[in-house]
Structure 1
Amino acid sequence: MGSVVRATLKKTNSSVCVFQRSNGFVARFFSTEAEQPPQHSTPPFLRTDNSGLTYARLTGVHKHALKTDIISFLEGCNLTLEDVKMEYTRGGFNPLAMMLQFPTYSAYDNALRVIGRKGRLYRLDRIDRSHWDTVIPYDGRTILIQGLPRNAQYADIEQIVSDYDHDSSSLNMFLRTGEGNEPVKMATVLFRSRTQAMNVFIAKNGTYCLNNRISIHVLQ
């Protein structure tokens, strides 16, 4: 009988536990209280969404730096030529910074680590999308011609670039304040490809327009 009683008590206790778990489930199911969300160990203001585009401004860039130089330096950050734009001063097209568009926040965070690992040659600051949108993308297809004589005409510019595939309607000539507040004449021309713009730079930089020696820069 002792073994029968023990078996009966064991079966009864097991049934009670099941009833308690089941009853507890039913009570939670019909509860009118709002279920509490799971607690996170990281404060909300420190949480970061790792998806979506992230924009940044890279300063300390050399004036002759190319997009490809920055992409190579930030290897592994998934940047393309379309993700990099040079920010210039409005007055004389002097380089200020590189604007970068990262595919994710993780890629931006990786860029910070790369800069730190390579000796902090640059400074990278996160910016809003609006800052990226306001910078004109020259995309390596526009050249800037400096040192033009005051009497230079559109025909003189056309003579410089006539052997290269360019958009004649894009030719723009303007005056900017130079050293000693003296006005200097410059011009920009858009080409059909980066290769054409680079070919003009190689062939025509340091040549002459009328009696003035000109310099040519490829705008990034």
Structure 2
Amino acid sequence: MSILRAALRSNSPFSTFQTTSRVLFSTEAGQPPQGPVADSFLRSPRQGLVYGRLLGVRKHTLKTDIIHFLKDSNLTMEDVKVDYDRYFTPLAMMLQFHSHGAYEQAFRHIARNGRLYKLERVDRAQWDIVTPYDGKTILMRGFPRNALIDEIERFLHGYEYDRSSINIFLRQGETIDNPVKMATVRFRSRTDAMNAFITKNRTFCLNSQISILVLQ
């Protein structure tokens, strides 16, 4: 009887189903996930743009100085913007890295090289609000109080620039009752802006000497 019961159990469909199910589940569990699920699992979450704010820049620090200093991060001129205050003194440089690895490389490089600068992580909004002058805009300082846009256009006569970009404004001078009149204007290229700087800096408008700075 015991032999007969063992034979019946071995021929039971339920026994066959259990054995087959164990084999199938074991086989499926051993295979890696396929399709979009596998792709999303393998994709690095650290890809994409990362933004930083570089503190410690000086008045005469150039974008090219920073690009060379952080050469292993592969920054371009378009990846660097200068953050100026209302008097156009540089406060910091905004940096756009093309990967999280490039940002970390820059952070480690700064730490290894005497901490000349300080790099802070910022979000995209802080990058977007900084105006990119790109070396095509000049700042002219020292116009007399009575100088109008006509005098500024005569001062720039013969140069290729965007006339609609002329912006005239006042900033406080050494004393409250002696504001400084300034103007910015955008040229069509970096070469045109530099040419205006070389030829017009320290020249005169209405008997007032005008100093010029190329905004990066």
Q: Indicate whether the TM-score tops 0.5.
A: yes
8 Å contact 1:49–1:105 — kept in the other structure? no
Report the counterpart of residue 60 of structure 2 in structure 1.
64
Q: Give, in angstroms, the shift of residue 184 of structure 1.
A: 1.4
Alignment of 1:1-220 (within 5 A): 24-28=22-26, 49-89=45-85, 91-181=86-176, 182-220=178-216
1:159–1:118 Cα change, 3 Å: farther
TM (norm. structure 2) is 0.78
Report the counterpart of residue 13 of structure 1 in structure 2.
none
Q: Give, in angstroms, the shift of residue 71 of structure 1.
A: 0.9
Residues in 2 aligned to 1:30 and 1:88: alpha-carbon distance in whole angstroms: 60
Mark the runs of 5 or more structure 1 residues left unpaired by the alignment.
Answer: 1-20, 32-47
8 Å contact 1:56–1:101 — kept in the other structure? yes
Amino acid at match of 1:188: T
Deviations 1:84-130 (A, max 9, x none): 111111x3122111000000011111111222233211111010011
1:24–1:65 Cα change, 3 Å: same
Amino acid at match of 1:169: S
1:103 is paired with a residue whose SS is strand
8 Å contact 1:79–1:102 — kept in the other structure? yes
Aligned residues: 184
Structure 1's consecutive aligned runs of 4 or more residues displaced over 6 angstroms after TM superposition are none
Q: CA RMSD in A?
A: 2.3
TM (norm. structure 1) is 0.76
Q: Give, in angstroms, the shift of residue 30 of structure 1.
A: 9.1
Amino acid at match of 1:53: L
8 Å contact 1:77–1:111 — kept in the other structure? yes
**Percent identity for Structure 1 against Structure 2:** 57
Q: Give, in angstroms, the shift of residue 159 of structure 1.
A: 2.4
Q: Give, in angstroms, the shift of residue 145 of structure 1.
A: 0.5
Residues in 2 aligned to 1:27 and 1:103: alpha-carbon distance in whole angstroms: 43
